[in-house]
């Protein structure tokens, strides 16, 4: 017979589940925990969707969380473009979601980027020693300028560039501009420090299901 728990107890469990990055290990923990407490794991997922304490139950909040789950680290203008939401409406909803702990904002490369949870919990960073969310965010290809984004996109492809001069010729930009952009990407841990390729933890970017905000956006005018 299922034990009876107070609404506060169940909502506390829901809050933990909602904020956890669901790795296989994490799912196992909460399946065990929910079983001990008499709350089916599927039931917990249903509670998350309908709980009044998180924004899955709000139409715009639901769309925001869906976007940030699919594309972690979207900066504000790109998120607004994808949602087609009014500026005031989106800012208000994001502020409420930050207060409730439903989204996490981290300034990266001069841009405010949003996540559906702390970036330090993202599976793409498993195996990397990261001590804080600012560093975790910097290791991701987010908050990029147009040129930095173009370089990352080129390095995701199958073409191999032996020198930065080759890369500059290929994308039609000056060597000095490319050198500066690559230097920033190396400092952030996105491009390998010696070779002209992405760091190993970003090899999964060839998967079309992961975008990390790399789609071109006319709202980002910096180079």
Q: pLDDT digit string (tens) for 94-131?
A: 999 999 999 999 999 889 999 999 999 888 898 888 98
Gap between the Cα atoms of 23 and 27, Å rounded: 6
Residues with Cβ within 8 Å of 206's Cβ and at least 6 positions away in sequence, in order, are: 156
- φ/ψ (deg, to 5) at 113: -110, 145
Binning pLDDT at 50, 70 and 90, where does residue 46 land? very low
Look at residues 84, 60, 71 and name the one whose alpha carbon lies nearest to residue 215: 71
Question: What are the tokens at 115?
Answer: 């996540």
Q: At what angle do helices 41-50 and 7-19 cross, to 10 degrees?
A: 90
CATH architecture of the domain with range 56-138: Orthogonal Bundle (1.10)
- Model's pTM, two decimal places? 0.66
CATH architecture of the domain with range 146-206: Orthogonal Bundle (1.10)
Average pLDDT over residues 127-147: 92
For residue range 178-208, what is the model confidence (pLDDT) as tens digits? Answer: 999 999 999 999 999 999 999 999 987 776 6
3-class DSSP state of 214: coil
Name the pairing type of β-strands 111-115 and 74-75: antiparallel
* pLDDT recorded at residue 27: 43
């Amino acid at each position: 017979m299922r034990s009876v728990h107070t609404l506060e107890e169940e909502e506390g469990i829901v809050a933990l589940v909602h904020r956890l990055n669901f790795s296989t290990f994490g799912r196992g923990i909460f399946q065990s925990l929910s079983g001990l407490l008499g709350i089916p794991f599927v039931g917990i997922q249903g509670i998350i969707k309908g709980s009044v304490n998180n924004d899955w139950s709000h139409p715009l909040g639901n769309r925001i969380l869906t976007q940030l789950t699919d594309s972690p680290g979207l900066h504000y203008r790109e998120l607004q473009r994808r949602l087609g939401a009014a500026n005031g409406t989106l800012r208000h909803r994001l502020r409420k979601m930050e207060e409730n702990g439903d989204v996490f904002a981290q300034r990266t490369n001069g841009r405010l980027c949003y996540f559906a949870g702390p970036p330090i919990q993202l599976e793409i960073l498993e195996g990397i020693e990261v001590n804080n969310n600012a560093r975790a965010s910097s290791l991701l290809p987010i908050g990029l300028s147009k040129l930095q984004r173009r370089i990352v996109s080129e390095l995701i492809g199958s073409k191999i560039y032996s020198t930065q001069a080759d890369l500059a010729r290929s994308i039609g930009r000056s060597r000095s501009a490319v050198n500066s952009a690559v230097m920033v990407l190396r400092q952030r841990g996105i491009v390998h420090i010696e070779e002209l390729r992405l760091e190993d933890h970003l090899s999964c970017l060839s998967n079309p299901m992961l975008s990390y905000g790399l789609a071109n956006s006319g709202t980002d005018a910096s180079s």
